[in-house]
Amino acid sequence: MRRLLVWTLAAAATLAAAPTATPADRRPNCPQLSGRWYGDNRARLQQVIDARGTCSGHRGAVAAFDWDNTLTKNDITDATLSWALRHDRLLSPARWKDTSAWLTGAADRALTAACGTGAGVPLRTSDNPDCTDEIVRIREDGTTMSGAPAFAGRWNHRRTVPQYAWVPQLFAGRTPAQLASYARAARTEALAAPVGATRVLGTHTVPAYVRYYDQQRDLVRTLHRAGFRVYVVSAGSEPVTEVWSRSLGIDAAHTLAIRSVLDTRGRITTRNTGCGDVPASEGAAIPYIDGKRCWINQEIYGVQGAAAWRKQPPARRPAIAGGDADTDVTFVGDATGAHLVLNRNKPELMCRAYDDADGRWLVNPMFIDPLPRRKQPYPCASTARTAPDGTPGPVRRPDGSVVPDQADTVY
């Protein structure tokens, strides 16, 4: 991976000094990161914090992070759905087809057979493994238990993915406050479970634990102390994400996720608010790939209309951005100071990170239970990027050149 010489020398100097520095050596307006990071990542993040924060007389720079598997280990939306399934908190729809604009006939039949219908009736998923299995499989793989596609039709594959949008839609009929209460119960349960714990939902084995990453908690705290405005931008449900982000000192106003449209009685519907020039819909635009850029541009920088989907000038982009998956690649790439990537072997993101076109990409293994090295190179030159119509293609740099296949070197 290419590195700019200035970064390497400065990072080495910072790392060399860090172990022997004492509190008296540090200026009080230079908050310091701590904890163990891969290679020189901590030093390089510190350089950006010092340059863009109170240490240099600045305040108000933006840092933005994905949530699931970026700030925590494991998925908080899945943890909440797991809790809800085990406690019969989902309400049956009148027709399963009504839960998503793209749900297939096969999925409608499978869910109807396994779960039944009856508008507003609590689903007895706690003692109905067939129903639980269908819901979990559709959420995980976008297929039914028989292997049939659960979603079909047209959508912009860089603005939404139906199975992500489907989870908030499953909570239709509940209020945001109720969903938040489920998230709090799931959070208590997941934080109490030992690291590595699993449970069985239907016949699916799923993680039973979630942990805040200590290094990320420290990073957010340090950024706050250095005068940064820290945001979460997630493809999960907003009431769920708000429950978890609060513990990091990130309030609801700084938590961006799928925001469900409410009915006249304040209950969640199958529609979510739109972004840019895309109006409210049944999931046509969510904070997903290019959608994360749109929500950042619109909600943080006030960019309106179609312009919210476009890359903005440096002054209207985060200084630091972090993520772990292809859904994060656009907004992480927009950062002007550091692109922080937790390696989960996601091809488009890792192609960008290892190509390191601007010398500001920082790759870190997951802080808990990191993945082993990917044996085959990432197919950057052929299929790593998903186009808006869903077809795979090569990853290209801003100048149009193709990123060559990249080996996995940070694990």
Regarding whether 247 and 100 lie in a shared domain, the answer is no
Q: Check whether 23 has a pLDDT greater than 60.
A: no
What Cα–Cα distance (Å) separates residue 75 from each residue in 140, 244, 253, 282, 373?
Answer: 12, 11, 21, 23, 22
We report the CATH number of the domain holding residue 341 as 3.40.50.1000
Question: What was the pLDDT predicted at 36?
Answer: 97
Regarding whether 201 and 95 lie in a shared domain, the answer is yes
Regarding whether 296 and 244 lie in a shared domain, the answer is yes
Q: Check whether 156 has a pLDDT greater than 90.
A: yes
Regarding whether 199 and 235 lie in a shared domain, the answer is no
Strands 198-201 and 204-207: antiparallel
CB 34 within 8 A of CB 23: no
Range of the domain at 383: 5-16+31-73+212-393
Six token digits for residue 151: 């979603």
Report, as an integer, the average pLDDT of 118-137.
Answer: 96
Q: Check whether 21 has a pLDDT greater than 80.
A: no
pTM flag (> 0.85): yes
Strand partners of residue 151: 103
Tell whether 401 is covered by a domain.
no
Render pLDDT for 335-385 as a digit per residue (tens, 0 to 9).
999 999 999 999 999 999 999 999 999 999 999 999 999 999 999 999 999
Q: Check whether 18 has a pLDDT greater than 70.
A: no
Six token digits for residue 220: 């957010």
- The CA dihedral of 378, 372, 147, 349, to the nearest 10 degrees, is -40
Strands 255-258 and 72-73: unpaired
CB 402 within 8 A of CB 388: no
Residue 323's closest CA among 346, 303, 342? 342
Regarding whether 223 and 132 lie in a shared domain, the answer is no
Residue with tokens 């772990």: 324
Tell whether 277 is covered by a domain.
yes
Tell whether 405 is covered by a domain.
no
Question: What was the pLDDT predicted at 20?
Answer: 33
Q: Check whether 155 has a pLDDT greater than 90.
A: yes
Strands 62-65 and 229-237: parallel
- Band (pLDDT 50/70/90 cuts) for residue 27 is low
Regarding whether 386 and 314 lie in a shared domain, the answer is yes
Q: Tally the domains of the chain.
A: 2
Q: Check whether 203 has a pLDDT greater than 50.
A: yes
Regarding whether 366 and 221 lie in a shared domain, the answer is yes
Regarding whether 365 and 335 lie in a shared domain, the answer is yes
Report, as an integer, the average pLDDT of 18-29.
Answer: 44
Residue 174's closest CA among 101, 265, 289? 265
Question: What was the pLDDT predicted at 25?
Answer: 42
Regarding whether 80 and 69 lie in a shared domain, the answer is no
| Cβ atoms < 10 Å from Cβ of 391 | 10
Q: Check whether 26 has a pLDDT greater than 90.
A: no
Q: Check whether 4 has a pLDDT greater than 90.
A: no
Six token digits for residue 197: 């714990």
Regarding whether 98 and 53 lie in a shared domain, the answer is no
CA distance 226 to 320: 13
Residue 20, exposed/middle/buried by CB under 10 A (0-12, 13-18, 19+)?
exposed
Tell whether 410 is covered by a domain.
no
Render pLDDT for 222-271 as a digit per residue (tens, 0 to 9).
999 999 999 999 999 999 999 999 999 999 999 999 999 999 999 999 99
Which of the two residues, 218 and 12, has the higher pLDDT score? Answer: 218
Rounded to the nearest integer, the mean pLDDT of the chain is 94
CA distance 180 to 81: 12
Q: How far apart are the first and last CA of the chain?
A: 14
What Cα–Cα distance (Å) separates residue 113 from each residue in 144, 173, 384?
Answer: 12, 21, 37
Q: Which of 192, 207, 222 is the last residue of a domain?
A: 207
- Band (pLDDT 50/70/90 cuts) for residue 325 is very high
Tell whether 406 is covered by a domain.
no
| Cβ atoms < 10 Å from Cβ of 60 | 10
Q: What is the chain's length?
A: 411
Question: What was the pLDDT predicted at 9?
Answer: 37
Least confident of 8-17, 69-78, 126-135, 250-259: 8-17
Half-sphere exposure of residue 159, counting CA atoms within 13 Å on the CB side?
Answer: 20
Tell whether 398 is covered by a domain.
no
CA distance 327 to 301: 21
Tell whether 227 is covered by a domain.
yes
Question: What was the pLDDT predicted at 28?
Answer: 60
Question: What was the pLDDT predicted at 229?
Answer: 98
Regarding whether 203 and 300 lie in a shared domain, the answer is no
| Cβ atoms < 10 Å from Cβ of 190 | 24
Tell whether 347 is covered by a domain.
yes
Q: Which of 171, 190, 207 is the last residue of a domain?
A: 207
What Cα–Cα distance (Å) separates residue 8 from each residue in 43, 47, 364?
Answer: 10, 12, 16
DSSP codes of every residue in 36-71: --STTHHHHHHHHHHHHSGGGT----EEEE--BTTT
Residue 107, exposed/middle/buried by CB under 10 A (0-12, 13-18, 19+)?
buried
Which of the two residues, 102 and 27, has the higher pLDDT score? Answer: 102
CA distance 327 to 101: 21
Regarding whether 136 and 165 lie in a shared domain, the answer is yes
**Strand, helix or coil at 83?**
helix
CA distance 292 to 390: 18
Q: Check whether 10 has a pLDDT greater than 50.
A: no
